[in-house]
């Protein structure tokens, strides 16, 4: 039996055996073409840096840099053997963690308030109330907001926000929250669009009002999934919090930037250690909480 028979036989399986050539293959070919053009553009452009990868000078510099990270040849005691540096780093790590949690919480609350009108079945589909035109307008505006907030990366949001807010944990958390609001909003609205609407419709035909239908027919079904997405995003947010800290001047990221500009690479080693520990901690915490959410 070959794969073709499986696909065209009477018991055609539900899973895709091969993607439909029209869009899938064209897109694959398009991506390959784009890849070739991009690499050609970069490699043929002036000073791509590829040639310098094969010079002894570059490799000497890399070895030097790795030595500096390990504090080789330094007369002072390296940061990662200094108890004070560890304490300082730990305080910054706690700040960073707080920033990531604050960002996740703000994004989560904002999504919770706005995701229902952004789902097409609630706005004008089979779960729609008597909203009519208003809910359709709200739907499109919310979806446009999701696209806009999600298209602009956290770091750029942070660069804009530090023009308005004083540096610290808050501007960074807001920047992270804005970007993740767009991502989570889209995902949550899609969860509602793909959910089983029969329980909610049964409630409505039994006389439930719109609010009751949402509270008992929709939310219990979608909230666990939303929470899972939120916790997954937390894992991404903790990795990005450091980057946002570069400009928002909070936590490990700010310190990283300072030490980089002072060429204190032994401090960088310590900060990267704390960074990795935080990432590991949040991955574990998120996995544990997701188990509770199931």
Does residue 112 interact with other proteins by CB under 8 A?
no
Does residue 219 interact with other proteins by CB under 8 A?
no
**Cβ 184 to other proteins, closest distance in Å?**
15
Which residue in the set 8, 10, 22, 207 belongs to the binding site for other proteins (CB under 8 A)?
22
**Cβ 257 to other proteins, closest distance in Å?**
9
Cβ contact 273:78 at 8 Å: no
Where residue 212 falls (left for φ over 0; alpha for ψ -120 to 50; beta otherwise) is: alpha
The CA distance from 235 to 280, in Å, is 9
Does residue 292 interact with other proteins by CB under 8 A?
yes
Cβ contact 100:275 at 8 Å: no
Considering only residues 116 to 135 of the shown chain, the ones binding other proteins according to CB under 8 A are: none
Q: Which of 257, 235, 237 is nearest to 245 (CA)?
A: 257
Binding region for other proteins (CB under 8 A) out of 78-86, 98-106, 117-125, 129-137? 98-106
Query: Cα–Cα distances in Å, from 214 out to 146, 149, 207?
Result: 22, 26, 13
Binding region for other proteins (CB under 8 A) out of 37-45, 79-87, 124-132, 134-142? 37-45
Considering only residues 55 to 94 of the shown chain, the ones binding other proteins according to CB under 8 A are: 58, 61-62, 65-66, 94
Cβ contact 77:233 at 8 Å: no
Does residue 111 interact with other proteins by CB under 8 A?
no
Exposure string of 259-272, with b = 16+ CB inside 10 Å and e = fewer, is: beeeebbbbbbbbe
* Residue closer to other proteins (CB basis): 98 or 128: 98
Cβ contact 122:192 at 8 Å: yes
Binding region for other proteins (CB under 8 A) out of 70-78, 80-88, 205-213, 272-280? 272-280
Considering only residues 252 to 271 of the shown chain, the ones binding other proteins according to CB under 8 A are: 256, 260, 265
* Residue closer to other proteins (CB basis): 43 or 137: 43
């Amino acid at each position: 039996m070959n794969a073709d028979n499986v696909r065209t036989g009477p018991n055609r399986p539900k899973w895709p055996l091969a993607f439909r050539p029209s869009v899938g293959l064209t897109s694959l070919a398009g991506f390959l073409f784009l890849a070739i053009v991009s690499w050609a553009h970069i490699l043929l452009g002036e000073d791509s840096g590829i040639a310098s990868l094969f010079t002894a000078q570059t490799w000497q510099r890399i070895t030097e840099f790795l030595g500096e990270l390990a504090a080789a040849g330094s007369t002072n005691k390296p940061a990662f053997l200094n108890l004070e540096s560890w304490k300082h780093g730990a305080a910054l790590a706690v700040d960073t963690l707080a920033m990531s949690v604050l960002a996740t919480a703000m994004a989560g609350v904002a999504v919770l308030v706005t995701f229902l009108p952004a789902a097409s079945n609630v706005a004008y589909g089979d779960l729609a109330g008597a909203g009519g035109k208003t809910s359709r307008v709200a739907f499109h505006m919310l979806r446009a907001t999701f696209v806009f907030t999600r298209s602009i990366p956290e770091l750029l949001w942070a660069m804009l926000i530090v023009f308005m807010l004083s540096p610290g944990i808050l501007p960074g958390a807001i920047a992270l929250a804005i970007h993740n609001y767009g991502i989570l909003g889209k995902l949550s609205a899609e969860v509602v669009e793909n959910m089983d609407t029969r329980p909610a419709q049964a409630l409505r035909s039994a006389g439930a009002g719109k609010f009751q239908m949402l509270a008992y027919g929709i939310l219990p079904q979608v909230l666990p999934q939303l929470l899972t997405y939120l916790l997954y995003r937390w894992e991404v947010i903790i990795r990005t919090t450091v980057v946002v800290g570069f400009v928002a001047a909070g936590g490990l990221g700010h310190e990283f930037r300072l030490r980089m500009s002072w060429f204190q690479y032994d401090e960088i080693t310590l900060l990267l250690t704390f960074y990795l520990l935080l990432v590991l901690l949040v991955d574990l915490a998120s996995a544990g909480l997701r188990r509770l959410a199931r």
